[in-house]
Structure 1
């Protein structure tokens, strides 16, 4: 293709995936793209999750783009507002706002085989066409609401952590929190500090380890600004500190030994923070460490020992207008219910409908659980690429590192489409199936396959979320786009 006929590209989402992908396409000379964002600003999951205490559990120097370093992070683990600010800075640095259509949601995407283009149905009865479609909607974009009888009958205030009600005054109120996941362990201390009473409804106790967080001194920030190599060294050191932890999840003998060391350290810390044996029993996990996401907090356990805080381990039977009824028949009367129940992580791309060759619905193709070649491409869906797709989630390192691997791969794919005069490409079914058979075989030996009930797996037990190895292996697998893994049965008619 000539410079005037470069492939047209549509990107969905302006979180780390969408902003980073657009920046890399721009730097590669491909600027004929539109980014669709249903909200009115950039930020993705970090824009939406503005509950009190929201912060990252990956050090800031690694939870940022290598091609857009930020020397002035205020602390080792950045908070939500600072991360959103960083994404806004990146949008401005790479002049991306001119390409973003805010307040525009992609409802459906259908591949037009005769034209070799994706036709997008947008809100407001709008449409858009592009030769290449890149979904950067992430795995944590849709709040998961619990299916509890009577949940709609509650007469008090109820909201999900991803849709926080900042106008609600917790002072003097009795509050129920349902869920003890990554969001809950961050906002529970803030509610406990303000509410008159807090009941925390817990199904399974999480592992919550100490967070080695601290603010950066002004002299240190000045050094990072003056000597960029120091910032690079900090990023590399952080990576080297985190990456070996991947060994603890792979199920090997050395991995089990490593995780046992972490578990012993965790139990010592738990005993130090919670003296009451009954409360400590309640919050001691029964699942193997690492089977579910390991959480980090320095104020979660101290919040639970407050006199007006109670951890409830009896299951919830139903919700009534005045509160929560547990299976023992007890009514827990509360003024507000806060849902810390996470996200519909295994429902990739929903509620958007994606239709490929022969009218195939992607949701139907994924009826047995989502899968994709390299977590990026799906057979029968030409010129369609995903960021943070199936089996690319991590438990030990930065997802931004994984995203950068995907950026490079997709840019290479765009170059291949460009070189081939716009012929559309779809990954071969046999290649996708062989790749995913290998991924699932590897996952079968990991700690995630030990039977715990978490958001990594579908209802049938298939792990559609996690990458089973080291991140440098994923980078090696995505280092170069291999045209031989793809079929090119059609061409655009532009």
Structure 2
């Protein structure tokens, strides 16, 4: 086993890097970041499909402490997010803590030593007092359960594993999925392919995209005028927060969602004159039930002569094409799967004190956490985020909240001389009762969400992804939660003696 660290961080995306930066700011330098690939960046390293871009304004989708004046557009393309991640890892001296090609397979808590022991795909083991799991909510692709998928003899591409060696020029291409990734890739590849068939199960709400280029003059203002970058971030964050609050407080302000729906419908009417195509692209569920997005190019793509929109259900995938329930089979060369992710899934076996994995616990007893960060039965573990943990106008706000919570607990454990800390069952149940009650006020509890096929709602019927509160409420809760919600334990006398004997023997 390699050296034991005070903190082990899983994942070198923006969440894992945020955790590392906060630890360094707090004077905690004994940590390691385990990353399965060979570079930082997480989702922005993995997703390189044509048209990939952030769908939250870049001023908001970035660290508040590290503004970037060099975005080329308000909604930056994916390669700029990856460059930003590399910049942050270098500036904050994170690379000396990074361990690449370290794919975590299992993590178990050693009760005798109060340590997390992680086993890697290589067979190596890494241990740490605390484990921050920043594996990312968009890391595990959702493989569609369509009969015949494995029998297809053409080329299959997942959007998050784009094959740049495979040319689409003149090919007969099909795309399954019209969520956020499909909305970006479809208009990007349509001019290149021979024919493009888009199979849509559920249409997506689309807002007009205000995405002007940021010229050199504007970048100069953002870089050198005091407060300019903060003002840009504040304005885009406020707009995004307002959109989020319309989902969360739908019961109190139902007119907010209705107003946004009217804007989306007007956007669709202005871009698609064909009433039949427009009907197919119009959602029958309420705005916000399924993740919406922004685009000015998605709708016009379906007016192209080489593009067909299919809304009939898929019966099966054949060796040479796709057959729908009406008996029509369309032959294709390449199949693009834009079928989303298993949100909140942990991509490795994370075992609690009873041996059960976190996913097994959630499958049996519903997804649960305390403050969206910790879980009873999993000591010294901090999720980023956990169930009901996604809050704020972007994931960066969520990371801030989660790691702020983790750091408060770790610092208090240090102060007390504790080596084991676990949220109490009572505190967790009390918090979960409040969250589930508040979900009743959200759009997800509205009958208008029927048929939305949203990843916001899980197999139990719970809306366990978003924290159903404002960002201000979440910030106050994460900075004021009582420490008596946790049980802090010092190492037992036998364990201390054993460690001292091991240390003397090593000398």
- TM superposition score category, shorter chain reference: over 0.9
Superposition TM-score, scaled by structure 1 size: 0.95
**CA–CA distance in structure 2, aligned partners of residues 269 and 79 of structure 1:** 23
How many angstroms does 1:6 deviate by?
Answer: 11
Give the secondary structure class of the aligned counterpart of 2:190.
helix
User: 1:174-193 maps to which residues of 2 (within 5 A)?
Assistant: 174-193=172-191
Within 5 Å, which residues of 2 pair with 1:33-432? 33-252=31-250, 254-346=252-344, 348-350=345-347, 352-367=348-363, 368-393=365-390, 397-432=393-428
| Alignment check: 8 A CA contact 1:383 1:424 kept | yes
**In the aligned structure 1, how far is the partner of 2:477 from the partner of 2:314?**
45
> Aligned partners of 2:206 and 2:443: how far apart in 1?
17
CA deviation string 1:70-117 (max 9, x = no partner): 222221111111001111111101101010100001111111111011
CA distance in structure 2 between the partners assigned to 1:430 and 1:141 by the alignment:
32
Provide the TM-score with structure 2 as the length reference.
0.93
Take 2:91 and 2:261, find their aligned partners in 1: how far apart are those partners?
A: 43
Q: 2:440 aligns with which of 444, 466, 485?
A: 444
Specify the SS of the correspondent of 2:183: helix
2:430 pairs, out of 429, 434, 441, with 434
Q: Distance in 2 between matches of 1:378 and 1:491?
A: 21
CA–CA distance in structure 1, aligned partners of residues 179 and 375 of structure 2:
31
More divergent stretch after superposition (466-475 vs 18-27): 466-475
The CA deviation string for residues 411-443 of structure 1, in whole angstroms up to 9 with x for no partner, is 111111211223311000111111112111111
State whether residues 418 and 488 of structure 2, in contact with CA within 8 Å, keep that contact through their aligned partners in structure 1: no
Higher deviation after alignment, 241-250 or 337-346? 241-250
Alpha-carbon distance in 1 for matches of 2:353, 2:465: 25
1:458 corresponds in structure 2 to: 458
Shift in alpha-carbon separation, 1:379–1:490, aligned structure 2, 3 A: farther
Residue 253 of structure 1: how far off its partner (Å): 5.2
**Matched-pair contact (CA < 8 Å) for 1:6–1:30:** no
SS of residue matched to 1:34: strand
* Aligned 8 A contact 1:246 1:469 in 2: no
| Aligned 8 A contact 1:402 1:475 in 2 | no
- State the 1:7 CA deviation: 6.9
Deviations 1:348-379 (A, max 9, x none): 213x1112223343223212332211110000
Quote the residue 2:472 is aligned against.
472
Question: Which sits farther off after the overlay, 279-288 or 63-72?
Answer: 63-72
Contact kept in structure 1, 2:301 and 2:307, CA below 8 Å: yes
Worse overlay, 272-281 or 397-406: 397-406
User: Matched residues in 1 for 2:188 and 2:242: separation?
Assistant: 33
Distance 2:11 2:190 in 1: 34
- In the alignment, structure 1 segments of 5+ residues that lack a partner are none
Distance 2:312 2:389 in 1: 34
CA RMSD of aligned residues (A): 1.7
Corresponding position of 1:483: 483
Cα displacement (A) at 1:42: 0.3
CA distance in 2, matches of 1:430, 1:289: 36
8 Å Cα contact 1:274-1:302 kept in structure 2: yes
Task: Give secondary structure in 1 for the equivalent of 2:479.
Answer: coil
